[in-house]
Chains A and B, each alone.
Chain A
Amino acid sequence: MSLLQIAEPGQSAAPHKHRLAIGIDLGTTNSLVATVRNGIAVCLTDEQGRALMPSVVHYRDGGGIELGFDAMNARVSDPRNTIVSVKRFMGRGLADVTHIEAMPYVFEGIPGMLRLRTVQGSKSPVEISAELLRALRERAEASLGGELTGAVVTVPAYFDDAQRQATRDAARLAGLHVLRLLNEPTAAAVAYGLDNASEGVYAVFDLGGGTFDLSILKLTRGVFEVLSTNGDTSLGGDDFDHRLYCWVLDNARIAPPSAEDARRLQMAARAVKELLTVSEETPFRLRLDSGEEVDLTVTRAAFFEMTRPLVQKTLTPVKRALRDARLSPRDIKGVVMVGGATRMPHIQRAVAEYFGQEPLTNLDPDKVVALGAAMQANALVGNRRENDHWLLLDVIPLSLGLETMGGLSEKIIPRNATLPVARAQEFTTFKDGQTAMSFHVVQGERELVADCRSLARFELRGIPPMAAGVARIRVIFQVDADGLLSVSARETSTGVEASIHVKPSYGLTDDEIAGMLRSSLEHAGDDLTARALREQQVEAERLLEACTQALAADGELLDEAERAAIDALIARLRQLAPGNDATALSDGIAALSRATESFATRRMNRALSTALTGHNIDEL
């Protein structure tokens, strides 16, 4: 039997018509589910009152699944069948996962998507995530006493199309109706009620267990817009534990520890780190299996000192994100702290110093994303308060474009464009009588397609034969509010059309995205030169093609000397084309164009007289 909740005035639902909505933070290490009850966002707990659910799935020998805390022990006893951090595999190919050799899993390398072989058969990351989501759904249904209308699931701002699609598929598989995928920083800002705050620009500083993300959000008239995102995928609270662990090894004068002792020392390091958040000094005592004893005292000052470089490291992405948004720290109106690691006082102090203001820390940094997702879900199913109608906007992390002749990337939607977005551009045919066109959709900042990531390919067929450059092909790129891309191409005179939805195929890790962004900055100069060269090469090819055709058709208009001169220039340009001297190539193109000028005029005259012959003036 269901229990009642207090509704907003006039919003009481008819019996059995409650619109129950939840927000899910599907995390790498822990996952949470939250809802809005009696007008307040709350995290839903399990029978033991725990809100966090470790993102761990254990496939048991002989059937059955253990999840969350129940599966924690199996990480040691049955590592091969106990999947942790499955989020890192979402929408990923085998080649995308770093440190794969250090993982205890048996991977299956099906092209595009990786799978894991468990005692219960082959499992995809989508299926494994779906187990976690199903457990959260069941917890929510038991807590709310009814069927759910929908859920908002959060994803890192850096997630690409394949990763978002995989997350959505997992939620669907878990029997959830996904109202929206929401970027984690945006959810955190919502939880802090920044949507009701005065307008301005906010920073979200998210230091989780293993990753760091910084996002710059702008709020105008209740509309959120993500101005820029940046991060470091190999920086998190675990690194602070590790630094302390190394310090202990240096100072305790013990033999290199066994694997088991190392694990215990790391766990002790984490506990000491957490204690130092509230106390000035903490003993580090542990009796190792080797019989040795560690007995040290760690002061807060010493811990701060040894982890100072890590704190400094968080500031690099902060600066980059601000630069991308063309802002200075002074422009930031508030800083939201997300992730358990932001509880460390020296992190908070560094952030306060950099931005010149105290960060927002009054909500539990582990729960803030789930709470914001729940508030968004509640609004999306229509349980909103009067005057509450906010809309969330996010940005795309990397530019989307098409491959053009010569392997160049033509960017259609620039990086950091706000979602949803649609952009159109017209393209044309390269050769006379060309009836089909192949489109290659790429993602990335570099000028050459080879340096970008390939997303999809499709073809437009049935273009009527026309001279090169006459056909008009309108290509539309659309990215919906969830960040999923569809591309369509349409020949405007006939209306023939082709389109594609970008499905999970190949993935990029966050590292690679960060790397691609970095290399685009580092190679900006080279890229420009490379682009100039490719453009000349394409032009040379076009000119050679045109000349060859013209000579075949009207070659007799030239006398022998003229023909020989042109042939020589053609041969020279053919030779130059594959080289990488853009200037020489440009000169070769100019020379051939000049030499063929009078030939072109003669051809034109002949075409004209052919057209006029046999017609009287009235017919024209």
Chain B
Amino acid sequence: MSVTLTERAARHISNFIDKRGKGFGVRLGIKTSGCSGMAYKLEFVDQALDGDLVIDSHGVKIVIDQKSLVYLDGTELDYVREGLNEGFKFNNPNAKNQCGCGESFNV
């Protein structure tokens, strides 16, 4: 079971952590809410917790809890630019349908 970052996403994350001045890695997770049932969570991590899985991808540590991993297995996190907007995008093979906003999904 695994999740990965694209090289571009990894480069941006390590840049953001540098500028932030501290941080162990980035947490990927899901929570239940949103218009399609589940929502992605993307946060800086200062400390991994018990039960967290830590995955190294292009030199960036991804921290993920066991429950979220079930829903995120095989996900690739990308950093994209769409017009003036730029940010992270979850490419999740488990998601059956997504809300048009891209922030929530169901399996």
Contact = CB atoms under 8 A, between A and B. Distances in A.
B43 A11 contact: yes
A8 B44 contact: yes
Task: Give the interface size bracket for A toward B.
Answer: 20 to 34
Interface stretch (A39-47, A90-98, A364-372): A39-47
Interface of B: 12-13, 16, 19-20, 26-27, 31, 33-35, 39-46, 80, 82-90, 99-104
Contacts of B46: 9
A4 interface: yes
22 contacts: A1-B102, A2-B85, A2-B102, A3-B102, A4-B40, A5-B42, A7-B43, A9-B27, A9-B44, A12-B41, A14-B39, A15-B33, A15-B35, A15-B103, A16-B34, A16-B35, A16-B101, A38-B12, A39-B16, A47-B83, A142-B85, A143-B84
A39 B43 CA distance: 10
Contacts of B83: 47, 142
Contact of B99 (A8, A15, A38, A46): A15
Given A3-B102, A9-B44, A12-B43, A145 B31 contact: no
Interface of B is mostly: strand
Contact of B43 (A6, A14, A145): A6
Given A7-B44, A12-B41, A142-B84, 10 more contacts: A2-B85, A2-B87, A7-B41, A9-B27, A9-B44, A15-B34, A46-B84, A139-B84, A143-B85, A144-B85
A12 B43 CA distance: 7
A14 B44 CA distance: 16
Nearest to A1: B102
A3 B80 contact: yes
Nearest to B103: A15
A586 B57 CA distance: 89
A9 B47 CA distance: 10
Contacts, number: 93
A309 interface: no
A614 interface: no
A546 to B, nearest CB: 72
A144 B87 CA distance: 9
A3 B44 contact: no
A145 B84 CA distance: 9
A572 to B, nearest CB: 79
Contact of B85 (A3, A7, A12, A40): A3
Nearest to A9: B43
Contacts of A143: 84-86
B85 A6 contact: no
Given A5-B88, A15-B104, A40 B43 contact: no
Interface string A1-42: 111111111111011100000000000000000000111100
Contacts of B42: 4-7, 12
Nearest to B26: A6
A44 B84 contact: yes
A45 B26 CA distance: 26
B20 to A, nearest CB: 5
Contacts of B41: 7, 12
Contact of B19 (A7, A39, A145): A39
B103 A39 contact: no
Contacts of B80: 3
A45 B84 contact: yes
Given A3-B82, A3-B87, A47-B84, A8 B43 contact: yes
Interface in A124-162: 139, 142-145
A6 B40 CA distance: 11
Contact of A39 (B35, B44, B82): B44
A453 B26 CA distance: 57
Contacts of A1: 82, 100-102
Contacts of B85: 2-3, 142-145
B44 A5 contact: no
Contacts of A40: 16, 19-20
A135 to B, nearest CB: 13
A12 B82 CA distance: 22
Nearest to A144: B85
Interface string A546-571: 00000000000000000000000000
Nearest to B24: A9
A41 to B, nearest CB: 9
Contacts of A142: 83-85
A3 B88 contact: yes
B39 A15 contact: yes
Contacts of A9: 27, 43-46
